[in-house]
Structure 1
Amino acid sequence: MALRQVARVSRATGIGLCALGVFWGAFAAQMPAFKDRAGVGDGLFGVLLLGSALGGMAAMALAPQVGRWLGPRVLPLTGAFLALAALMPLFIHSGLTLALALVVMGVAMSSLDLAANVRISELEHDTALPLMNWNHALFSAGFAVSALLAGMARRAGLSPEAVQPVLALVLVAMAAAMIEARRAPPPVPRRPRPRLPPARPGRRRWRRRRSCSRPSLPRTRPRPGRRCISSAIWAAPRARAPLARRCWA
């Protein structure tokens, strides 16, 4: 029952992280074919893979502004951007195009990853349910299934031109499933002000305030040149009118 509730609450974010796994699994299975298309050696290929890291850092720097701009649509739109990035490997013909494709893919993957994790944190705060484990397990499951299917397609002799469009269509369908109806937060109830009990008729409160220039001086005979103020304030429960009496030396 708890797992069903977790899966229902985090449906959009779970699909988003699963889409990330599907994307990565298909790309990893076809990486040797992309390396041959670029015509680079192992050392240069390893250096060019840093392009995805550069794209990811750029996405992290822009994530707060993009999240405020897109609002509730950030998950499906970043998922659609990931589907578009799935077609970038088809344009790999040299080392430069491989680097550009990896940068675009890094931006798309990091944008969806950040948006999904931020939304998971919000849902955990609102529902007090442990959602992180389930959502990241879906990422691993999507990676495994996609890598297996892409590897079987490559073994069957299918080229990236046949695999990547199918992958893009699957990601578009998953992006459409990320749309969620986000309700407005419930209004915070205001605490009622405590009501004071009605004052009894005829009851008076007596306050006496006394201030002197020196507290140690006697009350009856102030020293010459000094000033002593003795005020008696009488306040009725309904109409408070202070009466003051001042004595000057």
Structure 2
Amino acid sequence: MDQRIDTARPVVRQGYMSKNRLAVSLLFLLNGFVNGSWAPKIPEFKDRLAIGEGVLGLLILVFGVGSLVLMPIAGGLIARLGSQTVAKVTAIILSPLLLVLTLVPNVFAAAIGMFLLGGFVGAMDVAMNANAVEVERSMRRAIMSSCHAYWSLGGLIGAGTGGFLMARIGVLPHAIAVTGLCLAILAVAWPMILADRPHPAAAREKLRLPLTPLPWLIGIMALFSMVPEGAVLDWGALYLRNELGASTELSGFGFAAFSATMAAMRFAGDHLRDLLGAKRTLRICTVTALVGLVLAGLAPNAVLAILGFAVAGIGISNMVPIAFSAAGNMPGLQPGIGLAVATTMGYSGMLFAPSLIGFVAEHSGFAIIFTAVPALFVVVLLLSHHAVHADHGKEHS
């Protein structure tokens, strides 16, 4: 039996538990909003610092390095202090960082700011996923997919309003408004965030990566689920325009269709997982994603490719939430440690795989890429039996 499941925990009123769920959903919304708000600031950031694409690329790489450095540290601190404490601290530090980047005077200061932004986006990501695992466990039902849907919603709001607000009220007022809204969201969530209890032995242990293979196998599931997502994000529009002859306007619909179906299915994913179980849901989603990307890669025209991306979004939507739930529910391992492994491996795929894909596509074309990348889903299917750990102790106790 998973010893971390507290069967003696007193029954709590459903209203109170719904507040815990609202709080962690707001944390996901906040994190996604910061990510989305950063995207429209990039051109202004580049022009203000008078840097070229090469330097900007290095700064974005520093963002990724910050995430990969602080994610494992956050996992260890969650094991010692609990996810509530780490989520609160990281959210407080993250909230003003876009304002900081708006005020940096030079490239050196910008590099520090980018490292901190990436680091605390990633650290908060680990903490809020760990807290979502605890809320799932206390409610005895899945909520992870809807939490990730709120992250997508936050990103959509941030990206959709950022350019408009910067054009209307200015860059600095926009950054101040983002900071104020983030702090307001955090203030609402603050008293309702579930107070989980760290394992007593964790405080006596050194912070180290797990030596057992299970968290790394689930990390591979997360990695191979997120690489295709990064491929569609970074290269889908270019594929539609350059290889399928889509107009500039139509080429943007590839990722839009992918994002729309992903967000919609994430809101429905928890019910599906409670109905079918995590293992069966993951397998259905993985096969759906595989079919969608192969359709996109073999499509003779842009309309069919966009349809393929939409189908892929339906499948990929719940693959990562299930992997993260499994990572946070592994027997004998604190949620923060397992989630640190899964999130670090998964997001490294989002950060670094697209550049490799771009290099390969320069010689082979993107049609072959989108046809071949789904081979990663075969590995996810082979590992899918480990998704049983996402079922809150129902099947693996």
TM-score (norm 1): 0.66
Q: Report the Cα offset of residue 68 of structure 1.
A: 4.4
1:34 matched to 2:23? no
- Output the CA distance in 1 between the equivalents of 2:123 and 2:100: 16
Q: Specify which structure has the higher proportion of strand.
A: 1
1:54-93 deviation per Cα after TM superposition (whole angstroms, max 9, x unaligned): 1111211211343245433332222111113232212333
53-62 or 65-74: which moved more? Answer: 65-74
Q: Match for 1:44 among 55, 58, 63?
A: 55
Residues 62 and 151 (structure 1 numbering): CA distance in 2 closer, same or farther, change over 3 Å? same
1:13 matched to 2:24? yes
Partner of residue 142, structure 2: 130
- Output the CA distance in 2 between the equivalents of 1:184 and 1:62: 18
Residues 107 and 25 (structure 1 numbering): CA distance in 2 closer, same or farther, change over 3 Å? same
Q: Specify which structure has the higher proportion of helix.
A: 2
Q: Match for 1:172 among 183, 187, 191?
A: 183
Q: Which amino acid aligns with 2:33?
A: V
Residues 37 and 139 (structure 1 numbering): CA distance in 2 closer, same or farther, change over 3 Å? same
- Output the CA distance in 1 between the equivalents of 2:195 and 2:126: 21
Secondary structure at the aligned position of 2:51 is classed as: coil
Secondary structure at the aligned position of 1:130 is classed as: coil
Q: Is the 8 A contact 1:52 1:102 kept in 2?
A: yes
% same residue: 22
Match runs of 1:104-183 below 5 Å = 104-156=116-168, 158-179=169-190, 180=192, 182=194
Secondary structure at the aligned position of 1:10 is classed as: helix
Q: Is the 8 A contact 2:87 2:127 kept in 1?
A: yes
Q: Is the 8 A contact 2:131 2:196 kept in 1?
A: no
Q: Is the 8 A contact 1:79 1:174 kept in 2?
A: no
Q: Match for 2:93 among 77, 81, 85?
A: 81
5+ residue gaps, structure 1: 186-249
TM-score (norm 2): 0.42
26-35 or 61-70: which moved more? Answer: 61-70
5+ residue gaps, structure 2: 1-14, 198-397
- Output the CA distance in 2 between the equivalents of 1:32 and 1:132: 33
Residues 32 and 64 (structure 1 numbering): CA distance in 2 closer, same or farther, change over 3 Å? same
Q: Report the Cα offset of residue 138 of structure 1.
A: 0.6
Q: Tell me the matched-pair count.
A: 181
Q: Is the 8 A contact 1:39 1:94 kept in 2?
A: no
Q: Which amino acid aligns with 2:59?
A: L
Q: Is the 8 A contact 1:37 1:94 kept in 2?
A: no
Q: What is the CA RMSD across the aligned residues, in angstroms? A: 2.4
- Output the CA distance in 2 between the equivalents of 1:39 and 1:105: 20
Partner of residue 73, structure 2: 62
Partner of residue 23, structure 1: 34
- Output the CA distance in 2 between the equivalents of 1:60 and 1:117: 12
Residues 120 and 181 (structure 1 numbering): CA distance in 2 closer, same or farther, change over 3 Å? closer
Q: Is the 8 A contact 1:51 1:102 kept in 2?
A: yes
Q: Which amino acid aligns with 1:154?
A: M
Secondary structure at the aligned position of 2:96 is classed as: helix
Secondary structure at the aligned position of 2:141 is classed as: coil
Q: Report the Cα offset of residue 95 of structure 1.
A: 2.2
Q: Is the 8 A contact 2:41 2:163 kept in 1?
A: yes
- Output the CA distance in 2 between the equivalents of 1:165 and 1:128: 39
- Output the CA distance in 2 between the equivalents of 1:43 and 1:184: 44
Q: Which amino acid aligns with 2:85?
A: R
